[in-house]
Structure formats: C-alpha cells, structure tokens
A and B are shown apart, each in its own frame.
Chain A
Amino acid sequence: MPKTKPSIPLGLVFSRSGPYAMMGREMEKSALMAVDEVNQSAAFDFTFTPHLRDPGGVVPAYHTACEDLIRNAGADHIVGCYTSASRKQVIPIVERTERLLWHPARYEGFESSDNVIYVGAAPNHTVVPLVRHMLEHIARDVFCAGSNYVWTWETNRVLRELVASAGGRLLAERLLELGDTSVDHIVSEIIDRHPPAVFNTLVGESSYSFMRALHAASTRAGISIPMLSCSLCEPELKMIGPAASVGCITSSAYFESIEEDENRAFVARWRARHGDDSHVSVDSQSTYVCIMLLARAIRRAGSADVAAVRRAAANDCYDSPQGPVWVDPDNNHCFLTPRLARSIDGCQFDIFWEAEAPERPDPYLSHLDFASVGARPDKQGDATAWRPTHLRVVK
C-alpha cells in the first residue's frame, strides 16, 4: 500500500458570488486544477487540502474568511483576493499572524507587504508598455473611460504623466460607478469628439456594455477608434460578443494564445477539465502559477513554514504557461513577461509583441523614466533607434 503523503491546509478565497463572481469562479476552478495536479504528482511529497471560502465580493467578508482559515482551518498559506480593496482587508491579518497571501491578480502597484507574494502583474508590466505603444504608434491624445475606483485612478495618473511627457493630453476622463451600465452618454461624447484613441479601464459589465455600445455607434457613424485596455481577457471577449470584442489592443502577461509548449499543454489540460468551449484568463492562469510557486517553495523549504517558504520562493524560476516566472525577494512581486495583443475573432488575442525577457517588477514605478517613454524621434530620425530595445516584435 503506498505511503500516504502528509497534507497541508491551503486557504482559497475567491468570490463565487457577487459583482465579480465570473472572475472568482474562473480563478477558483484554476486553483482546484492546480491543487489536483500537485496532489497527483510524484514530484511533491505532500498534498494540499483546499479550504474554500466565498466572501461574495463583500470587502469586510475577506477579513472574516481569512481569519477563519487561519484560526480554524490551520492555513499558513492563502491564495486569493481579486480587488485591491479585498487584499487590503486581508493584509493586516496575514501580517499580524505571520501568514502568506498569494495574490494572483494584477493591480495598480504602490504596495509591498512581506506577507504577500504578488504573482499578478505590477504596473510596469501592464500600463507602461501599453501607453508606450499608444504614444509610439497610435496617438498622443486619448479619451479615458473607466470604473470609478483605485485601478482607474492610478492607471489614469500614470497615463496622464506619460502622455504629458510626450506632449499629449487626456481629452476627457469619464468614470462610471462599478457595475453601472449606463454608458450611452460616454459613447455619444466619443462619437461626437472622435478622439484618436480610447483608453478603457472599465471593468466587468460596465466594460462589456461600453464596448458593445461603442462598437454599434462607431459602425453607424462609419468611424473606427482604436481602443486600449490592460485588463481585457478571453472569457470576457466571449461575454462581449463576436463583433464588439474584436480589435482591442490589450496589455497582459498572459494570453491563451502564447505559443509555448507549457502553455499549449496547460490549455489542453484546462479544456479537458472544463470543456472545449472554455477559455483561460490571465487571472486563472496566474492563480495556477500561485499554487505551483507555493508547492515548489514548500518542496524546496522542506516545510510549509512561512519564513522558510518565503526564502525558498525567492528566485525559484518556474517555467509556467506564461513563460519563466520567479519571485523578486526585494519586493515579493514576480518577474513576468509583458505582452501586447489585439483581440480577434474566436475570443482570442493575436500577440504582436512581448518583452525579450521577464521584466523585474517595479511596484512603485521607481525605475520608470516618464520622459523617456514619451520620447519620439524627429521625422528624419531613425525609427529603429527610437523603438524600445527591450521590446521585440513577435509578429
């Protein structure tokens, strides 16, 4: 009879209900897939026992859920949270009790807790490459539509500084409350003003309604306005619909279409488990990466002890579906490869460039030279000399 492996309790905190239930369910599905793979793998001499909690998208419920996981389920490690508000509810309790939160979602930066491993993208991985692309190839002036919360406020702040450095301006900043789908006034204004680009930081249903309405109105008016996003993902393209979801220039560390063996195998396993018509999102993939990084760190440390796991996780390079990923011990964020893609038919993204190598996370954007991002050569200048050297065209 095979020896039973010791079991390690693992907290999973995802909102399967509430305003962003779709993302929560996708992330939880990915977490459970990763747990099953670890548990069935001979490469790990332990198993995870997942303890699921659903805070329902209610911010204070995250604190309650994590307290329960730590006190009653004995979890030293918790994977989850989606919004910054939920993460900031959890940080005081993981800091006070010396536990680790493994956070899959990209966020706006300007945080670095010793008790969080930030596996999602930092702002230098998402907004900076997207704005650089916009300034170099599309426009210096941009119309902003966003959800009225911290992600939009900070993304627009970075956008405003980069655009201003390049001599451009934010033509308008129109904000909707989270979940609000009354987008008509914004769409009318965009059609009237016909800006050279629209920067979309709306989330969830607000974004889907906005993209559908803008597509319909643009088609009626016979115009085409480039749209940019740093949060759009494959399952959302499906929800938006076939025509309106096409053509959005999107920045992300992960797209389902990454042509690497690890990713092809990962997507195949995902579809085998969840159905051929299902799609992997950046946050689902990142949740999977969280659990694999944690499992590898426990294996290296020889225990689930938080301090030992944190040390073991540092600089451990994992060939994940999105490519090599490792934790930077300087700030507990991850080295990731930024990518830009255009949404196409079939709920997919066509990746048109990516960083040559994983980029060091810069959560405080302290290494960003705002002036250099917006710099353009004169008309006679050599365009190849001005193109950022760390970016390579892949298509």
Chain B
Amino acid sequence: MTRPSPFSVRGRHALMIMRDEREMSILRRQLGRLGMSVTETDPEALIVPDTGIDVIILDADSIPIKPDSTPPLKTIVPVIALIGTETPSRLKWLLDLQPASFLIKPLRSAGLYTAVVVAFDGAQRRSEGAAYVEKLEDRIRARRVVFGAMLQLMRNHSLCEDDAFTLIRQTAMRHRTTVEQLSADIIALGGMPNRSSRTA
C-alpha cells in the first residue's frame, strides 16, 4: 500500500480551537491557500467532532491549565499547538497533549505549511507504528497456541521441537495461511488438518 503524500494537503479539514481574531485570519487565509477547509470552535467549548477533522490547530494559551493535570483534549486527530508562553507549566501541559507539531506566536504566513506537513506525516507514522505493535501483540498472544500445536505434533509424530515447528511453518506456507491460524486448526482437530488443496 502506498502512503498518502503528506505534501498534498488539499481537501483536508482543519478545526481551529482559538480566539485571537488576527491569528485566526492569518490561518484562515493560509489554510485556504493550501486548499484546506476550516471549522472554528471557541476554546471554552473544546468540542471535537468524531469525524471529518484531519488536523486540530489549538491555541495553547487560550486554555487554562487545570490543577488535576488531566489531558486537555483526548483525540487521535493530530494537533498543531500554537505556543506563546514557554513556561515549564505550559510546556508540561503541552507534552501531555502530545502535539504533532507546533507554531510559535505571533503567527506569520510562513511556517503553517511545514507544521501541517509534519503533523500529517507524524500522524501517519504513529498510526503505522500502532498497527505494527498490534500485529506483534497478536503474535505474542498466539505463541501459546503455536506451542500447544507443536506439543501435539511432537507427541503424535515423535518429532523434536525444531522439526515440529518446521512442519507447521512449511504446511502453513503450502496452505497459504499463517502459522498461528494453522496451529489453532491443529489444536481444534487434534492433529494436522488433512488439506490437499490450498486454502484461501
């Protein structure tokens, strides 16, 4: 699968959570130049729709820091933070937000494109990383099943551990299935499935 190019941002939708009209007008104009559409919401409301938002641009200074240190926003949408105050208390709040990129205020026309491209690329890499971790976790969970299937074959066919695994791996390849799926079949059937043809 080819990755979408982070450089082409036309048609993407941004949610601006900010209040400063001068900075909002710079962003509206610049996002329009990039071919992106915009929705605006007041920082006090802090409502993020579930769908249809590709990136959030959040003015960090417009949201009070709460003492309970709960993350200000829970979302999987990449966030570009606008930063004015660089105090550690604000930066701690910002780190909890895990912004995909940031811009220093006062805003200029330059910089937004970089921030958007970095945010989209970071979000894409994070999502690929999460999918890879999930796949690895599935395989770890399946290790118990594979080990059970190996024990079954070792007992049934008097094989050593290495030969039992090689048999499972080669059979899985021939059947065009995964080692984990074949192992589950072996356990369910009490032995190697008798399939002469390829499975889907």
Q: A and B: real partners?
A: yes
Contact A367 B32 (CB under 8 A): no
- Tell whether A110 pairs with B108 under 8 Å between CB atoms, given A366-B10, A367-B10: no
8 Å CB contact of A364 from B29, B34, B110: B34
Q: Is B71 an interface residue (CB 8 A)?
A: no
Contact digits for A337-377, partner B, Cβ 8 Å, 1 yes 0 no: 00000000000000000000000000110110000000000
Contact B109 A364 (CB under 8 A): no
Write out the residue numbers on chain B whose beta carbons fall within 8 Å of the beta carbon of A89.
Answer: none
Contact digits for A277-292, partner B, Cβ 8 Å, 1 yes 0 no: 0000000000000000
- Shortest Cβ distance from B143 into chain A, in angstroms? 41
Contact digits for A105-126, partner B, Cβ 8 Å, 1 yes 0 no: 0000011111000000000000
Q: Is B155 an interface residue (CB 8 A)?
A: no
Q: CA A330 – CA B110 in complex, angstroms?
A: 15
CB closest chain-B residue, reference A331: B33
Interface size on B, residues (CB 8 A): 13
Write out the residue numbers on chain B whose beta carbons fall within 8 Å of the beta carbon of A111.
Answer: 109-110
Q: Is B8 an interface residue (CB 8 A)?
A: yes
Write out the residue numbers on chain B whose beta carbons fall within 8 Å of the beta carbon of A112.
Answer: 30, 33, 109
CB closest chain-A residue, reference B30: A112
Q: Is B35 an interface residue (CB 8 A)?
A: yes
Write out the residue numbers on chain A whose beta carbons fall within 8 Å of the beta carbon of B113.
Answer: 110, 364
Q: CA A367 – CA B11 in complex, angstroms?
A: 10
Q: Is A95 an interface residue (CB 8 A)?
A: yes
8 Å CB contact of A363 from B10, B29, B33: B33
Contact A330 B32 (CB under 8 A): yes
Write out the residue numbers on chain B whose beta carbons fall within 8 Å of the beta carbon of A91.
Answer: 110
8 Å CB contact of A330 from B8, B9, B10, B33: B33
Contact digits for A57-94, partner B, Cβ 8 Å, 1 yes 0 no: 00000000000000000000000000000000001000
Q: CA A363 – CA B29 in complex, angstroms?
A: 14
Q: CA A95 – CA B108 in complex, angstroms?
A: 8
- Shortest Cβ distance from A85 into chain B, in angstroms? 14
Write out the residue numbers on chain A whose beta carbons fall within 8 Å of the beta carbon of B9.
Answer: 366
Q: CA A330 – CA B33 in complex, angstroms?
A: 6
Write out the residue numbers on chain B whose beta carbons fall within 8 Å of the beta carbon of A113.
Answer: 108-110
Write out the residue numbers on chain A whose beta carbons fall within 8 Å of the beta carbon of B30.
Answer: 112
CB closest chain-B residue, reference A363: B33
- Shortest Cβ distance from A105 into chain B, in angstroms? 18
Please indicate which of the listed interface residues A110, A111, A112, A113 has the most CB atoms of chain B within 10 Å of its own CB: A112
- Shortest Cβ distance from A64 into chain B, in angstroms? 21
Contact digits for B1-22, partner A, Cβ 8 Å, 1 yes 0 no: 0000000111000000000000
Write out the residue numbers on chain B whose beta carbons fall within 8 Å of the beta carbon of A114.
Answer: 29, 109
8 Å CB contact of A366 from B8, B109, B110: B8
- Shortest Cβ distance from B38 into chain A, in angstroms? 14
Q: CA A359 – CA B113 in complex, angstroms?
A: 23
- Shortest Cβ distance from A111 into chain B, in angstroms? 7
Please indicate which of the listed interface residues B29, B30, B32, B110 has the most CB atoms of chain A within 10 Å of its own CB: B110
Given contacts A364-B33, A364-B113, 15 further A-B contacts (CB under 8 A): A110-B113, A111-B109, A111-B110, A112-B30, A113-B109, A114-B29, A114-B109, A331-B33, A363-B33, A364-B35, A366-B9, A366-B10, A366-B33, A366-B34, A367-B35
Which residues of B line the A interface, CB within 8 A?
A: 8-10, 29-30, 32-35, 108-110, 113
Which residues of A line the B interface, CB within 8 A?
A: 91, 95, 110-114, 330-331, 363-364, 366-367
Jot down 21 A-B pairs with beta carbons below 8 A, ordered by A.
A91-B110, A110-B113, A111-B109, A112-B30, A112-B109, A113-B108, A113-B109, A113-B110, A114-B29, A330-B32, A363-B33, A364-B33, A364-B34, A364-B113, A366-B8, A366-B9, A366-B10, A366-B33, A366-B35, A367-B10, A367-B35
